[in-house]
C-alpha cells in the first residue's frame, strides 16, 4: 500500500502535537519534516528541536520521522538531526558537492538515506547514487513554500524513475512531494510512487486531519484494485 507522509509544515503549530497525533491515529505511516534554511530555498522553517519533540509521539505510534533537509551543506547537521530522532534523512542533490560521501555519512549514523531532486533537475543526477540510497524524492513543486500547485510534467518523471528502479532491482522508496492532493493521488501512485507527502491537503480548515487522510485512502483504492 502507498504510504502517507503528512508534512507538518502546513500544521497549526499552536496545536502541533494534537494534529500530529490525529494524523497518526488516522493511519499515517510517516511524518514529513521540511527543514529550510533561507539560503537553499527562500524560506526558514524548523530545526532539530521540533524533530526531538516529535520523537516520543512517533516512536509510540511506530511512525517514521522523515526529515527533508532543504539546506546548504547539509553534512554539517546530519549528526544533530540523527540524535534528535530522524529515521530518514533526505538531502537535495543540488546542495551536495560530494553526494556519495553525504549519503554514506547518513547511513553511518544508523539513519536511512534519501536524495531529492528539484523539478528541473534531471534523473541522471541520481543515476549513480541509486544503489546506495533508501529513498528518492521527486519534488513536484519548486521547494520553499507549502500550498503550491502540482507541476503536471512530474508524473512522467515519476514514471521514468520507477522504470529506472525496477530495471536495476533497487528497492528504494519513491517519494513525491508538492501539490499532492486526494484528486491526483491515484495518478501519482499509478506512475510508481510509494510514499506521498501532503501538507495543506491534510492540515487545513475545510475538513479534519482524519477526514483528509480518509479521502486519500479512498482515492488510492483504485490503484490498489488495478494491481
Catalytic residue among 37, 87, 134, 177: 177
Does the annotation mark 87 as catalytic? no
Catalytic residue among 34, 66, 87, 134: 34
Does the annotation mark 25 as catalytic? no
Q: Give me the helices (H) in the chain, please.
A: 16-25, 48-61, 78-84, 99-108, 154-168, 182-191, 209-226
Residue where the block lists cell 543540488: 94
DSSP string, 25-91: HTT--EEEEEEEBSSSSS-B---HHHHHHHHHHHHHHT-EEEEEEESSSGGGGHHHHHHHT-SEEEE
C-alpha cell at 54: 516529535
Annotated active-site positions, please? 34, 177
Amino acid at each position: 500500500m502507498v504510504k502517507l507522509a503528512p508534512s507538518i509544515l502546513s500544521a497549526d503549530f499552536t496545536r502541533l502535537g494534537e494534529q500530529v497525533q490525529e494524523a497518526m491515529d488516522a493511519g499515517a505511516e510517516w511524518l514529513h519534516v521540511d527543514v529550510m534554511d533561507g539560503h537553499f530555498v527562500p524560506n526558514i522553517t524548523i530545526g532539530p528541536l521540533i524533530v526531538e519533540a516529535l520523537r516520543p509521539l512517533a516512536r509510540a505510534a511506530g511512525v517514521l520521522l522523515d526529515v527533508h533537509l532543504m539546506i546548504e551543506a547539509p553534512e554539517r547537521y546530519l549528526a544533530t538531526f540523527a540524535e534528535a530522532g530522524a529515521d530518514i534523512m533526505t538531502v537535495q542533490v543540488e546542495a551536495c558537492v560530494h553526494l556519495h560521501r553525504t549519503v554514506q555519512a547518513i547511513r553511518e549514523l544508523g539513519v536511512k538515506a534519501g536524495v531529492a531532486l528539484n523539478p528541473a533537475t534531471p534523473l541522471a543526477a541520481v543515476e549513480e547514487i541509486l544503489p546506495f540510497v533508501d529513498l528518492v524524492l521527486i519534488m513536484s513543486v519548486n521547494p520553499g513554500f507549502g500550498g503550491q500547485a502540482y507541476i503536471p510534467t512530474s508524473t512522467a518523471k515519476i514514471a521514468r524513475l520507477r522504470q529506472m528502479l525496477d530495471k536495476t532491482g533497487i528497492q528504494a522508496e519513491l517519494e513525491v512531494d508538492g501539490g499532492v492532493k486526494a484528486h491526483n493521488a491515484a495518478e501519482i501512485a499509478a506512475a510508481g510512487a510509494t510514499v506521498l507527502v501532503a501538507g495543506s491537503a491534510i492540515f487545513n480548515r475545510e475538513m479534519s486531519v482524519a477526514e483528509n487522510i480518509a479521502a486519500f485512502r479512498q482515492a488510492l483504492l483504485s490503484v490498489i484494485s488495478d494491481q
